[in-house]
Amino acid sequence: MPTTTRLVVIAVFPDVDLLDVTGPAEVFALANREAARVGGRAAGYEVRLAGRTRGEVTTSAGVRLVADCAFAEVGGVLDTLLVPGAVEMLPAGPVARIDQDIVEWIKQIAPQARRVASVCVGAHLLAAAGLLDGRTATTHWSTAAQLAAENPAVTVDPDPIFVRSGKVWTGAGISACMDLALALVAEDLGEEIALAVARQLVMYLKRQGGQSQFSVPLSQPPAARRDIDELRVFITDHLDGDLSAAALAGRMCLSERHFARVFRQETGTSAATYVEAARVEAARRLLESTDQPLDQVATGCGFGSIETLHRALRKQIGTTPAAYRRRFRTTN
């Protein structure tokens, strides 16, 4: 039986993020190889880079790519249209670049694709083309506010690493392009092939879309006080211990009142809220990657009881431990 060709077209243009292009391309190439190894025939992915014209395109990293074809030459039925993005670095921070020529091309070509996906700030281009109206979407955390402000018809969720809404997928920034591409492979070829590709890429695990772009420590900027940063490391390493305000204040040799004021000033949140978020993150990792009973998950993460674990997950992510595990459990 001949292999069905899955044509993947990736848009490229000046200052596009290099990994947003090469990361998914590598995933699709490895999927071809792993499908041939496991199932005896290739997955049939064919990746083409499309630019304004054929030829060299300089990425934001300064590395040059070569567009296989011009936008005007792309036609026929596509399996996947993948749109990365580019940013302007302004004093106030990065701003997603929106090129109207590319937006018009997306409007024309998207109906010919079985599915459309954006990587990083490419979501801004899909939104400008009207493809995200009435949908939930994500993008790189640094431009999520811009996406929401400029596109009130889009529900922007800055937390997940990728979001699927019908035939349209949106991914978070930079390395999350690999997770998005793996999810596309899993949809096409199944979890076994996607996990085999993840292993070839030496990725720790194939992350699910509902996972956060940031771990709790990374979501907080470095504190001005070194002792607060050291305390945050201590919290992460001792989630099953006594992390009450009294215990943490005592560790820092401060009164509870002074400690509460210092911690909030340095982190923007209370110690109790920070500890609960860190414990929920640890519980999510265990629910995703192990078969530990819920009482062990609760105890190991410092919740003390299944009931407390339930309340914390419902409060922070709106679901129960069992429901979260059913949706996001990753098997080896």
Catalytic residues, by residue number, are: 120
Angle between helix 176-189 and 191-200 (nearest 10): 140
What is the bridge-based pairing of β-strands 55-58 and 64-67?
antiparallel
Cα 18–chain centre separation: 17
How many Cα neighbours within 13 Å face the side chain of 110? 22
Residues in the chain: 332
Given a contact cutoff of 8 angstroms between Cβ atoms, the answer to whether 100 and 31 are in contact is: no
Q: How far apart are CA 20 and CA 174, in angstroms?
A: 6
Tokens of 45: 């992915």
Q: Is residue 307 classed as helix, strand or coil in its secondary structure?
A: helix
Beta strands of the chain (E only): which ranges? Answer: 6-11, 45-51, 55-58, 64-67, 69-70, 78-83, 87-90, 93-96, 113-118, 136-137, 155-156, 162-165, 168-171
> 215 and 233 in contact (C-beta within 8 Å)?
no
Q: What residue has token string 């070829």? A: 189
Token look-up 């003390």 returns: 304
Q: Check if the beta carbon of residue 191 is closer than 8 Å to that of residue 331.
A: yes
